[in-house]
Structure 1
Amino acid sequence: MRENCGCHTGNRRAPSADIGGSVLVFDRATGVHQALLDGSVLTARRTAAASALGAKHLASKEARNLLILGAGKVAAQLPKAFRTVSPIKTVRVWNVTPDSAERLSEDLRPIGWGAAGLRLDRPPEVHSAEPPSGSPLEAYFATISSSPQH
């Protein structure tokens, strides 16, 4: 496997990413090229999978709601990753740019998610809760504060 990465800081003003990369996969025995993978997609999926693995051990087994802070490439991968470890039914998305949160929510709805963008002046308040009984680790899971905005 070989990785190739390039940084193009001028792309910040363009619709292109400022960092791009590819992962080339070769057969170990023969050296024959097997695959060319988009590095940014692979990184987003790996990050989402690592997050879901942490939630598997730290979150309540009864969790049905997922709060995503951010609306980028990793955020788009989180619902599917979390559903592999928890029976998530509802997704709420908050982003500094509310339109981005709503766009991600719109993308998630047709594939079976009860998703909605949160239009808040500031990030949702997150509180810790008692760990579920029998948890292998001391667990904390997030709840969205329904207090009025100031």
Structure 2
Amino acid sequence: MTADTTSNQNQQNVGGPGSPAWYTSDQILAGVSVDRARTLLENTLASGFRPEDDPARSNIPAGTGHLLLMPSVLGDWAGIKVASVSPKNPEQGLPRIQATYVLMDSETLTVQALMEGNVLTTLRTPAISAVAADYLAAPDASKLVMFGTGPQALSHIEAFSKIRSFTDVVVCGRTPEKVDAAVEHARSLGLTARSGEATEVSDADVVVCTTSAAEPLFDGALVPDNACVVAMGSHEPEFRELDSTLMGRAQVVVEDRTTAMREAGDVIQAVNDGSLAEDALVDLVDIVTGATKPDLDRPRVFKCVGMSWQDLAVAIGVVEPE
């Protein structure tokens, strides 16, 4: 079945009262590629939408874990992602995080579609990273250093391959077998890739951090002034992938200041130790609209934690084909 056929069927399947369509991961991926997700998010920011208008995600204790509730409204559509986080699930062969997306029309708030939610996260996270990097990275960027080897690392390699012509992709990780697998994934996309060490940030054009690290991954003093650094690995105040040395040197771009100061440990800790001024943070929407220009005389950092509007923008793309 082609993506166009799937998209057409998906559009026809959008339900009315009592008959919402269900979209599997495969159907979502057939309708929205990582690169199309990037376009959907960029267009949303360019349309005049301000991420600070998005409601904060709710974190509610439940059972042995917690629930994340992520609502948003964009034009004719409203939606909410309901995610469960159960730390003991892997011991039972179940995913640690499970999610479902509920898509509604904003006029009547009637449920129009239900979607597998984890795949929306897999799409929107590298997509928003790529939106930022496309504005912040040098046009001739050729060396990409990737920290992490999980699904987000693989998706980011694919997303970033669409915005720049990288000739050297370096994968850094703790487990050699996973590093090798990530290298092979990059090569399957036609990229020249290899394993490497953290010190290779010293001549990187783009650095991407997709880990669950609680402490900085590399010495921020090594990052060259022309580099773009993206960090998306955590949304908890006590976790960080980037040190205060880098955050203090860089132009720091975030999805939304309030959200960053609530959830982004890389930002919060640098502000708290005096390395970074809160009022120096730049909202990504202002970079996209041209209200603020990238500062090419120092590193540009994009720190993201994921926001509800991003899931909704991708979900709309599923039911509204190109």
TM-score in same-fold range (> 0.5): yes
Q: By how many angstroms is 1:80 displaced?
A: 2.4
Partner of 2:299: 140
The alignment's C-alpha RMSD in Å is 2.7
Q: Give yes or no for the alignment of 1:129 onto 2:129.
A: no
Partner of 1:65: 143
Task: Give distance in 1, aligned partners of 2:142 and 2:180.
Answer: 20
Q: Residue by residue, what CA displacement relative to the aligned partner does 1:12-71 show, whole Å, maximum 9, x if unpaired?
A: 4455431211212234456353351332x3223322122223322332211122111001
Q: What does 1:44-63 align with in structure 2 at a 5 Å threshold?
A: 44-63=122-141
Length-normalised TM-score, structure 1: 0.71
Between 1 and 2, higher relative CO (CA 8 Å, sep ≥ 6) is seen in 2
**Is this contact kept in 2: 1:23–1:36, CA < 8 A?**
yes
Distance 1:140 1:12, change over 3 A: same
Q: By how many angstroms is 1:116 displaced?
A: 2.5
SS of residue matched to 1:102:
helix
The letter of the residue matching 2:192 is G
Partner of 1:86: 164
**Is this contact kept in 1: 2:81–2:117, CA < 8 A?**
no
**Is this contact kept in 2: 1:58–1:140, CA < 8 A?**
no
Task: Give distance in 1, aligned partners of 2:140 and 2:97.
Answer: 38
**Is this contact kept in 1: 2:149–2:182, CA < 8 A?**
yes
The letter of the residue matching 1:33 is Q
Length-normalised TM-score, structure 2: 0.37
Q: Residue by residue, what CA displacement relative to the aligned partner does 1:112-135 show, whole Å, maximum 9, x if unpaired?
A: 2222233x5xx3342333439xx8
Judging by fraction of residues, say which structure has more helix: 2
Task: Give distance in 2, aligned partners of 1:117 and 1:131.
Answer: 23
Q: By how many angstroms is 1:78 displaced?
A: 0.9
Task: Give distance in 1, aligned partners of 2:80 and 2:92.
Answer: 28
SS of residue matched to 1:55:
helix
Task: Give distance in 1, aligned partners of 2:226 and 2:179.
Answer: 29
**Is this contact kept in 2: 1:24–1:37, CA < 8 A?**
no
**Is this contact kept in 2: 1:3–1:21, CA < 8 A?**
yes
Partner of 2:195: 117
Q: By how many angstroms is 1:136 displaced?
A: 3.5
Q: Give yes or no for the alignment of 1:36 onto 2:194.
A: no
Partner of 1:20: 98
SS of residue matched to 1:107:
helix
Task: Give distance in 2, aligned partners of 1:49 and 1:43.
Answer: 10
Partner of 1:144: none
Q: Residue by residue, what CA displacement relative to the aligned partner does 1:93-114 show, whole Å, maximum 9, x if unpaired?
A: 1111121111122223223222
Task: Give distance in 2, aligned partners of 1:87 and 1:110.
Answer: 15
Distance 1:103 1:16, change over 3 A: farther
Partner of 2:81: 3
SS of residue matched to 1:47:
helix
**Where does the alignment leave 5 or more consecutive residues of structure 1 unmatched?**
142-150
Partner of 1:97: 175
- Work out the percentage of aligned pairs sharing the same amino acid: 25
